[in-house]
Structure 1
Amino acid sequence: MPRRTATMLASTLMLIALLCAGVLISVPYAEMSPGPTVNTLDEHDGEPVLQITGRRTYEASGHLNMTTVRVTSPGFTMNLPQAVVGWLSRDAIVLPHDNLYPKGQTEEESTQENAEEFSESQESAKVAALKELHIPVTARVVVASVGKGTPAEGALHAGDVIKSVDGTAVRAREDVAKLVTRHKTGDKVVFAVVPAKEAAAAEKAGKDPMNTRNVVVETVDSPKGEGERRPVVGITAGTDHTFPFSIDIKLADVGGPSAGLMFALGIVDKLTPGDMTGGKFVAGTGTIDDAGKVGAIGGIGMKTVAARDAGARYFLTPADNCATAAQDTPEGLRLVKVRTIDDATRALKHIKAGQDDALPSCSKG
């Protein structure tokens, strides 16, 4: 065999060996890419995304699309060629696995966490939307969860309404921790609560839960690894709401809190005569709290690409994501900076009127 042919053959075999080795070598990375977008004003999988009963609603044209990001699962093992392809792709981001998933988090734990965040974002979206429309919403502090093996287990239950702690009225969920941490470890704390079943029955009847009972729970030191040691009883406090009519958000296979803003705007549009978008295609993202404040999200670059690919012309962007989003804005997409639901509704008025010059823009710096 001629030396030239032998050299080429050896080089080819080595290249094949390297490629095979690359496929077998796993790397500690994960990938994010643009996910589907869903119009909150329309249907998804054959049923309306927003289902409102007990209150008059109005037809809305145009789009108010929430955006998503596809991410590889916690258990996905990426090989070297896949990482290289991701690094070279304009519409994907490869980043360290631990940046997306805390070390040791299982796929089930990740799914559960995303589902809880999604549920909380829906609740806040409803509250923010109704407050924007000046429709009263009743809020109450509840036991959101009880830790296993803690003093509260068996004494307090998820769904119990917390009226007071040690005789001091509780008006916000943060009040509970403040009142408990006033104690020393081993002290007894008196909770005045309405049991979960009675609270649920009162809500169904449209009444404020009133029948309280006192529950005494002893404090213990907070678990190691949870920051500064402090007295705790083993509960997480949350906020529950009673709405004057039914609002259901139907959207499966989506997790996380980032759709809150777009759900809230969809609810406002459905409950408002006329059309907030003027028939135009608006997409966006952002968490939202009960007061209507819009928060930053992850994967903003992938969400702007998803919006552009779906046909959006405007993208409602959380102010804290603006600088990153502006670094590489997809062609034909206008980034609109928002800090609150008020900002967003004001921006939609400008979009509807064709007043693009009045829109607050995102800048790189």
Structure 2
Amino acid sequence: MPRRTATMLASTLMLIALLCAGVFIPVPYSEMSPGPTVNTLGDHDGEPVLQIAGRKTYATSGHLNMTTVRVTSADYRMNLVEAVYGWLAHDNKVVPHETLYPDGKTEEQSTQENAEEFSQSQESAKVAALKELDVPVKSWVIVSTVVKGSPAENKLHAGDVIKAVDGTAVKQPADVAKLVTRHEPGQDVRFTIVPAKEQAAAEKEKRTPTRTEDITITTTTSDDAGEKRAIVGISAGTDHTFPFTIDIKLADVGGPSAGLMFALGIYDKLTPGSLTGGRFVAGTGTIDDQGKVGPIGGIEMKTVGARAKGARYFLTPADNCAAAAKDTPEGLTLVKVNTIQDALGALKDIRGGDTADLPRCGK
């Protein structure tokens, strides 16, 4: 065989071998890509995203789109060829697998966590919107989760209302940890609670719950990094009673990042006129009960997805501005927001056509 032919054959075989290796060798990476965007003012799967009963609502127009990111599953093993393609693709992003699934988190655990965060974001969106409208909302501190195998297991339950710890009234979720950590590990702590079932019955009957229980729990030592402290194995959260019904109908979505857009959608439906003036506005951001907007992940994917759907303005958490401004899709204006008040002010300018002084990312 001529030397040139042999060389070409050897090179071809080596290339084939490398391609095969690239296809079959897994790499520790995952991929993010633009996900669906949904207009919070419109319908999804045949029904309104926001459904409000017991309060007058008003017609809306335009778009207030929440945005999402698609990610590969926890058990998906990307190969080298896919990773390289993802790195080169403009609309996708390849990240270390542990970025999306830290500490070996399974698909089931991630889905459950995202569902819980999504549910909490809906509650905070409702509270933030109603506070802006000066509509009173009743709130109280509850047991959010109970750690399996902890001292609190089978003594406290998710949904129990925490009235006091060691006789000291609890007003905020942070009060619970502060009062528990006053103890040394191994000491007893006393919780005064309204059981979840009693609270649910009282809400249904529109009355104040009357039955409380005192639960004594022996603390244990924290096993996380940092200074050791007394714990009982719960996380505290906040629950609310609203003066009318607000339902958010959106399946197959998780995480807390739609909070801001839900809050704006609720506000729009409960006020005369249109927040957008018919414009196509999208956005993202967590929101807390006080209306503060927090950062999210995958901002670059969300701006791409929003622009592809037709968005002209994108409400961007201030802490995400730097990343979003690095590669802004053409024709999309990134509007920086820190609070729901910032977003409402920006929307006023947008619907009025007075956009020259909008607080933009990168300026």
TM-score by length of 2: 0.97
User: Superposition RMSD on alpha carbons, in Å?
Assistant: 1.3
Partners of 2:218 and 2:317 lie apart in 1 by 43
Using the TM superposition, give the Cα deviation of residue 18 of structure 1 relative to its aligned residue in structure 2, in angstroms. 1.4
The residue aligned with 1:51 is 51
Whole-angstrom distance in 1 between the partners of 2:152 and 2:322: 45
Give the distance between the partners of 1:227 and 1:60, measured in 2 at CA: 50
Range moving further from structure 2, 183-192 or 82-91: 183-192
Matching residue of 1:267? 266
Query: 1:83-140 deviations in whole A, cap 9, x for unaligned?
Result: 1111111111111111221031111111111111111111111111111111100000
Give 1:144 shift: 1.4
Match of 1:301 in 2: 300
1:131 aligned partner: 131
What's 1:315 paired with?
314
Contact 2:98 2:104 in 1 (8 A): no
Give the letter aligned to residue 206 of structure 2. G
Equivalent-residue separation in structure 2 for 1:186 and 1:4 (angstroms): 80
In the alignment, is the contact (CA less than 8 A) between 2:74 and 2:105 conserved in 1? yes
Task: Number of aligned residue pairs: give it.
Answer: 363
Aligned pairs for 1:1-365 (under 5 A) are: 1-222=1-222, 224-363=223-362
Q: Please state whether the residue corresponding to 2:335 is helix, strand or coil.
A: strand
Secondary structure of 1:129's match?
helix
Distance 1:147 1:68 in 2: 30
* Distance across 1 between alignment mates of 2:32 and 2:24: 22
User: SS in structure 2 opposite 1:352?
Assistant: helix
Alpha-carbon distance between aligned partners in 1 of 2:253 and 2:163, rounded to the nearest angstrom: 34
* Distance in 1 separating the partners of 2:260 and 2:110: 22
Could you list the per-position Cα deviations for residues 155-207 of structure 1 after superposition, in whole angstroms to 9, with x for gaps in the alignment? 22221111111111111111111111112223222221111111001111223
The AA in structure 2 aligned to 1:318 is: P
Q: Name the amino acid aligned to 2:340.
A: I
How far apart are the structure 1 equivalents of 2:249 and 2:331? Answer: 30
Cα drift, residue 226 of structure 1: 4.6
CA distance in 2, matches of 1:232, 1:173: 14
Deviation larger for 255-264 or 197-206? 197-206
Contact 2:190 2:216 survives alignment (8 Å): yes
Partner Cα distance (1:326, 1:148) in 2:
43
Question: Is contact 2:220–2:232 with CA below 8 Å preserved after alignment?
Answer: yes
Distance 2:181 2:282 in 1: 43
| Aligned equivalents of 2:105, 2:160: Cα separation in 1 | 29
What one-letter code is carried by the residue in structure 2 that aligns with 1:344?
A
Q: Take 1:130 and 1:23, find their aligned partners in 2: how far apart are those partners?
A: 53
Matched residue SS, 2:271: coil
Separation of aligned partners in 2, 1:193 and 1:55? 32
Distance 1:220 1:6, change over 3 A: closer
What secondary structure does 1:95 align onto? strand
* 199-208 vs 274-283, greater mean Cα deviation: 199-208
Contact 2:117 2:256 in 1 (8 A): yes
Question: How high is the TM-score relative to the length of structure 1?
Answer: 0.96
Greater Cα shift, 1-10 or 50-59:
1-10
Q: Distance in 1 between matches of 2:153 and 2:84?
A: 50
1:24-72 C-alpha deviation (Å, 9 max, x unpaired) = 1111111111111000000011111111111111111100000111111
Q: CA offsets per residue over residues 299-330 of structure 1, 9 Å max, x none?
A: 11111111110100000000011111111111
Judging changes above 3 Å, is the alpha-carbon distance between structure 1 residues 48 and 235 closer, same or farther for their aligned structure 2 residues?
Answer: same
What one-letter code is carried by the residue in structure 2 that aligns with 1:312?
A: A
Query: In structure 1, the residue corresponding to 2:65 is in which secondary structure?
Result: strand
C-alpha displacement of 1:8? 2.3
Q: What amino acid sits opposite 1:319 in the alignment?
A: A
Unaligned 5+ runs, structure 1:
none
Q: Mark the runs of 5 or more structure 2 residues left unpaired by the alignment.
A: none
Question: Secondary structure in 2 aligned to 1:323?
Answer: helix
Deviations 1:303-361 (A, max 9, x none): 11111101000000000111111111110000100000000011111000001113111
Identity %: 72
In structure 2, distance between residues paired with 1:134 and 1:339? 20
Q: Is the 8 A contact 2:62 2:279 kept in 1?
A: yes
Residues 186-237 of structure 1: CA distance to partner in whole angstroms, max 9, x if unpaired?
3222221111111001111223323222222222222x23532111122221
- Check the 8 A contact 2:86/2:92 in 1, yes or no: yes
* 1:246-285, Cα deviation, whole Å (9 max, x unpaired): 1111111111111110011000001111111000000000
* In 1: Cα distance, 2:172 partner to 2:210 partner: 17
1:149 to partner: Cα distance = 2.6
| Cα pair distance change 1:243/1:226, threshold 3 Å | farther
